[in-house]
C-alpha cells in the first residue's frame, strides 16, 4: 500500500473531480476532508461509507483510505502534522491547544464527524475560508488559518460524534452527556475524577453514581476514566515531542516513574517503547 509523505506542517488542497486517482493509501500526517459537493463511497480502513455534501472526515496516519466518486465531487483537504506543542501561531495558549487536539484525535467515529446540517454548513464556511486564505496567502494568512482551524475544531467537538447518545433530560436528574462533559473537562486532574468527587459534584452518592454510569454507559466509571486517559497519553506519545516528564505533569502523575508504571500495566509495554514502535 502506498504511503504519502508530507513535510510541511500545513497544507490545503481544494479540487473538484469526476475520477479518484489515488489508490488505497495512508499518510504520515492528519487530514480533515470536507465534501463541498457530490457523492460517492469513502473506503476507510475496512469500512465503505457513503459520502455526500457537508460530510467531514478525520484521517489519522495509520488509516488507509480512498474515495469512489459517483457524482462529480469537490474535496477540501486540510492536512496537518506536528501541531502538538508548537501549533502554528505564536499567540496560542499551548496547553489549551494541546488539549483541544487531544479531544479531536480521540474521536472514534469512522464516518462523518458532523451531526447536524447547521454544523455541516458552518464547517463548510470555515473550510472555504481556510482554502481562500491558503491560496491567496495575504498578510498573516497562517495566523488566520490557525484561528479558523480552532473554530472548526470547536464545531467538530460540539457535534460530539464519539459520545453516547444522551438520555432524555428530566429535571433534577443526571444525564450521561453532563457526566461525560465533566470527565472530559477534568481528565487531566485525577483528583477530580474519583467516584467520590464526581458523586459530590452531581449531588449523588458514590454508589448511585457508579451504578448509574455502568447502566447507561456500559462500563464501570473507573474503567472509562482510565481508558480515556490512556488514549490521550497514547496520542501524546505518538504524535507529540513532549517528554515523559511533561506528559506526567500534565496528566497528574507524581513523576515519570509513576506514569511509566501505570502505562506499562495497561499496555504491557513501556511508554518509550510504545513511542519508538510508532
State residue 88's pLDDT score.
57
Do 154 and 198 have their domain in common? Answer: no
Backbone angles phi, psi at 75, to 5 degrees: -110, 135
Contact by Cβ (8 Å): 237, 270? no
pLDDT reported for residue 19: 94
CATH assignment at residue 209: 1.10.10.60
Task: Please give the Cα distance from 203 to 192 (Å, whole number).
Answer: 14
Residue 169 forms part of a structural domain: no
Q: How far apart are CA 133 and CA 128, in angstroms?
A: 9
191 within 8 A of 253, measured Cβ to Cβ: no
Residues 38 and 147 in one domain: yes
The pLDDT, as a whole number, for residue 20 is 95
Q: Judge if 246 and 201 occupy the same domain.
A: yes
Q: In sequence order, which residues have a C-beta less than 8 Å from that of residue 192 and are 6 or more positions away?
A: 186, 198
Beta strands 2-4 and 25-27 are parallel
> What pTM did the predictor assign?
0.82
Last residue of a domain, one of 108, 128, 159: 159
Residues 155 and 211 in one domain: no
Domain residues for the domain of 237 are 176-277
Residue 95, Cβ neighbours under 10 Å: how many?
A: 11
HSE-CB at 92 with a 13 A cutoff on CA atoms is 25
Would you say residue 168 lies in a domain? no
Instruction: Look at residue 127 and tell me if it is in a domain.
Output: yes
- In angstroms and rounded to an integer, the radius of gyration of the C-alpha atoms of the chain is 20
Q: What's residue 233's pLDDT?
A: 96
Q: Is residue 112 part of a domain?
A: yes
Predicted confidence at residue 167, as pLDDT, reads 38
pLDDT in tens, the chain (278 residues): 788 888 788 899 999 999 999 999 998 889 999 999 999 999 999 899 999 999 999 998 889 999 999 999 999 999 987 677 665 556 667 788 888 888 888 876 778 999 899 999 999 999 999 999 999 999 989 889 988 998 999 999 887 644 434 333 434 456 667 888 899 899 999 999 999 999 999 889 999 999 988 888 888 999 999 999 999 999 999 988 889 999 999 999 999 999 999 999 999 999 999 999 87
Both 133 and 183 in one domain: the answer is no
Q: Cell numbers 481528565 label which residue? A: 187
Beta bridge partners of 27: 4
Domain boundary among 159, 193, 224: 159
* Cα 116 off chain centre by: 18
Question: Which neighbouring-strand residues pair with 97?
Answer: none
C-beta of residue 149 within 8 angstroms of C-beta of residue 127: no
- Three-class HEC string of 179-222: HHHHHHHHCCCHHHHCHHHHHHHCCCCHHHHHHHHHHHHCCCHH
CA angle 129, 130, 133 (to 5 degrees): 85
Amino acid at each position: 500500500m502506498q504511503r504519502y509523505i508530507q513535510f510541511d506542517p500545513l497544507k490545503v488542497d481544494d479540487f473538484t473531480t469526476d475520477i479518484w486517482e489515488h489508490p488505497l493509501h495512508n499518510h504520515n500526517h492528519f487530514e480533515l476532508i470536507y465534501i463541498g459537493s457530490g457523492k460517492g463511497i469513502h473506503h476507510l480502513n475496512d469500512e465503505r461509507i457513503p459520502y455526500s455534501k457537508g460530510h467531514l472526515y478525520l484521517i489519522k496516519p495509520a488509516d488507509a483510505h480512498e474515495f469512489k466518486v459517483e457524482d462529480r465531487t469537490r474535496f477540501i483537504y486540510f492536512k496537518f502534522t506536528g501541531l502538538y506543542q508548537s501549533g502554528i501561531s505564536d499567540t496560542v495558549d499551548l496547553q489549551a491547544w494541546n488539549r483541544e487536539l487531544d479531544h479531536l484525535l480521540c474521536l472514534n467515529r469512522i464516518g462523518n464527524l458532523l451531526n447536524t446540517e447547521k454544523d455541516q454548513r458552518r464547517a463548510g464556511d470555515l473550510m472555504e475560508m481556510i482554502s481562500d486564505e491558503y491560496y491567496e496567502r495575504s498578510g498573516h494568512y497562517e495566523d488566520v488559518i490557525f484561528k479558523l482551524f480552532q473554530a472548526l475544531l470547536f464545531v467538530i467537538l460540539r457535534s460530539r460524534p464519539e459520545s453516547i447518545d444522551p438520555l432524555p433530560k428530566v429535571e433534577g436528574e443526571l444525564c450521561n452527556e453532563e457526566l461525560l462533559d465533566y470527565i472530559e473537562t477534568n481528565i487531566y486532574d485525577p483528583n477530580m475524577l474519583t467516584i467520590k468527587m464526581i458523586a459530590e459534584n452531581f449531588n449523588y452518592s458514590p454508589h448511585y453514581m457508579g451504578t448509574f454510569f455502568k447502566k447507561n454507559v456500559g462500563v464501570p466509571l473507573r474503567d472509562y476514566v482510565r481508558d480515556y486517559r490512556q488514549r490521550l497519553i497514547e496520542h501524546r506519545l505518538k504524535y507529540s515531542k513532549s517528554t515523559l516528564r511533561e506528559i506526567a505533569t500534565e496528566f497528574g502523575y507524581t513523576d515519570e516513574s509513576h506514569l511509566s508504571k501505570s502505562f506499562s500495566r495497561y499496555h504491557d509495554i513501556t511508554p518509550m517503547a510504545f513511542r519508538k514502535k510508532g
